[in-house]
Structure formats: C-alpha cells, structure tokens
A = this chain, B = another copy of it.
Amino acid sequence: MKVFGLQEIKALLDIQAAEDAISRSFELFSVGASQIPKPGELFFPEHLGECHIKYGHLKGEPYFAVKIATGFYANHSLGLSSGDGMISLFSATTGKLLTIFIDEGYLTDIRTAIAGRIVARYMAPSRVNSIGVIGAGIQARMQVEQLQGVIDCKSIIAYARRPEALQEYCQYMSSVGYEVRAAESVAEVFEHADYIVTTTPSKEAFVKAEYLRQGQHITAVGSDGDGKQEICVDALAGAVRIIVDSLSQCERVGELSHLLKAGFNEPRAVEELGAIISNPSKLARQSASEITIADLTGVACQDIAIASSVYERWLASDTQSP
C-alpha cells in the first residue's frame, strides 16, 4: 500500500484540480448528499494542545476519508511547529485502506486556503486595490497566495500583534512578489483594504463594526471553536450576506455562533458556500457596495476532496510505485 510523504504530496497536488474537487464537495455537502458527522476532538490543556478528527463520505464518491490534525501551541518553545496530521483514504465499496497521506498538516492548510480562494471567486468586489491581512502565520501566507489568478492585486497591507512576526511576514510576502505595507493597527488595514482575510486564533474579537466600509469583503478563517472569535458581533450583523462553509458547524463554533449567542436571532442572509457555488447568479456578490463576510471553520468534505484529488493524480500518473 502506498504511503505518501510531504514532498510527494506537494509534487502531486494540482491546485486547480483540488479547487474543482473542493467546490464540488461543498455543493454535495450543502444539498445533504454527504455523511459528515460532528468532528471528533481531544484536548491536552497542559500543552495547549488539541486534536481534531474530521471524517465522512460524499454520496456516490468512490472514497471516504478520515483526517487527523493536531495543534499544540506550546511547541514553539521546543523548537517544533505547532501542527501535524495525516489523512487516510478508504474505498467506500470495500472499506479497504487505499492510502495514507502523511502530510504534516499541509493538506489541511492548503484546503483551508483553497476554500478562501473559492469564496473570492464569488464574493470579491470586481476591483481590489489592496488585500488586507490580519495575522502572520501560515494562513496569512497561504490565503493570500491562493487569491492569485482570482483577485488581480499584488498589494498587501498587513497587521499582526507581534511586531517581529509582522516584519517577518512582510519580508516573506515581499520575497514572493507582493508589494507589502505593515499597518500599525487593525483599523489601518480596514481603512485601506477592499478584501481582508483574518487568520488569527484570537479569543477577543478585533474587527469592529465602525471599521467596515461599503464594498468590503472579509474572509475569517481563525475561529474554529474553543471560544475563538475574530469579528465583533455587530460587525458580523452589519454584513449584507454571511457565507459559511457549514451552517450547523458555524452555528456551533464559528463567528456565527457568537452572533447567535448574542441574541441576533432574526432571519438573516446566511448562505452555505456550496449553495452559492450552485446558484451564483442569485447568491454571489450582487453589487459593488455590499459588505460580505465569510466564516470558514473547515469541513471534512474539503479533506475528502483534496485527498481524493491527489490520489487520483497519482493513479493517473506514470510514476506509481508501491
């Protein structure tokens, strides 16, 4: 049985094929043509650690997947990266283990960024002069990189709480061809940027309602439970449309959960990304002035799709080796 390591996975991954597979998986998920139970969780508070197990099957697909991802946020003091993980792919007709991707968390990172890319296809304003970034970690890099080819803008304004992390981020993004400016506050980012990605594990919301300007879009990828929140509830309530990857999951752990807890219970324009992909003429951005916010928490359908996509590229390749 073939077991893939990180370098092989990177060599096989085709971003466009993965995006197509993930888009289709969101559509299947949103019409209920999937079996995606609530993710499994383990917590290791003494090491600031957590483990998430996301698994499921999309109707009619030949594979099902089980993804394990860890985040141990005290690891940097040991000189280790915080994340690790793997995805196992099984036959949905025989239950046989087909392959394992020992991806060290890479496929989770990239499918998270690809979800942001898909959001941009449907929600970005037609003209973006500046991309705003909050945070300086792996998603701050990948989310911006995955906007290439979708948003025609190489200008970034970024903010992160730790100055040295912000400086390092700006240097990196500059080295890969962006024109980068470090902001001194979140407010400054929102003053200049049209399309903003927030990528922090913050438990204190920092995007305030008064920062928002007409026509802006925000994609928030930091909040996935455990009290995490990036967007103040009145800012979220000010969006003309909230895009969620999974309604049931975002109601439980996403930005949306905080809105509901705060008592904003009136019906509002919350749409799953899969529904938008299926019906863009009605649900994608309708005007240059709309404020839209995407709340991405990560869904197993993305893991199944990206793993299947890489596996099928390998099956179709000439370089299959046992």
A contact residues vs B (CB 8 Å cutoff): 1, 3, 35, 37, 40-44, 47, 49-51, 53, 55-57, 64, 66, 68, 70-72, 75, 78, 80, 82-86, 88, 90, 92-97, 100, 102, 104
CB < 8 Å neighbour of A40 from B49, B55, B100, B102? B55
Docked pose: A104 CA to B90 CA in angstroms: 12
User: Hey, which chain B residues are within 8 Å of A51, CB to CB?
Assistant: 55, 64, 66, 90, 95
Docked pose: A303 CA to B176 CA in angstroms: 46
Contact A95 B66 (CB under 8 A): no
Please tell me how many copies of the chain the complex holds.
Answer: 2
Docked pose: A230 CA to B71 CA in angstroms: 42
User: Hey, which chain B residues are within 8 Å of A43, CB to CB?
Assistant: 35
Docked pose: A199 CA to B30 CA in angstroms: 41
CB < 8 Å neighbour of A68 from B47, B56, B71, B88? B88
CB < 8 Å neighbour of A95 from B40, B49, B57? B49
User: Hey, which chain B residues are within 8 Å of A47, CB to CB?
Assistant: 92-95
User: Hey, which chain B residues are within 8 Å of A40, CB to CB?
Assistant: 37, 40, 53, 55, 66
Docked pose: A43 CA to B95 CA in angstroms: 10
Docked pose: A68 CA to B97 CA in angstroms: 10
Contact B94 A80 (CB under 8 A): yes
Contact B68 A102 (CB under 8 A): no
Can you add 6 more A-B contacts, CB < 8 Å, to A51-B90, A71-B95? A3-B100, A66-B66, A68-B97, A70-B90, A75-B95, A97-B104
Given contacts A1-B102, A37-B42, A40-B55, contact A94 B75 (CB under 8 A): yes
Contact B71 A42 (CB under 8 A): no
Which of chain B's residues has its CB closest to A66's CB?
Answer: B68
Docked pose: A104 CA to B98 CA in angstroms: 11
Docked pose: A57 CA to B94 CA in angstroms: 29
Docked pose: A2 CA to B205 CA in angstroms: 42
Which of chain B's residues has its CB closest to A57's CB?
Answer: B42
User: Hey, which chain B residues are within 8 Å of A35, CB to CB?
Assistant: 42-43
Docked pose: A104 CA to B95 CA in angstroms: 11
Docked pose: A43 CA to B59 CA in angstroms: 12
CB < 8 Å neighbour of A42 from B56, B82, B100? B56
Of A3, A53, A90, chain B has the most CB atoms within 10 Å of the CB of A90
User: Hey, which chain B residues are within 8 Å of A42, CB to CB?
Assistant: 35, 37, 55-57, 64
User: Hey, which chain B residues are within 8 Å of A68, CB to CB?
Assistant: 66, 88, 90, 97
CB distance from A299 to the nearest CB of B (A): 15
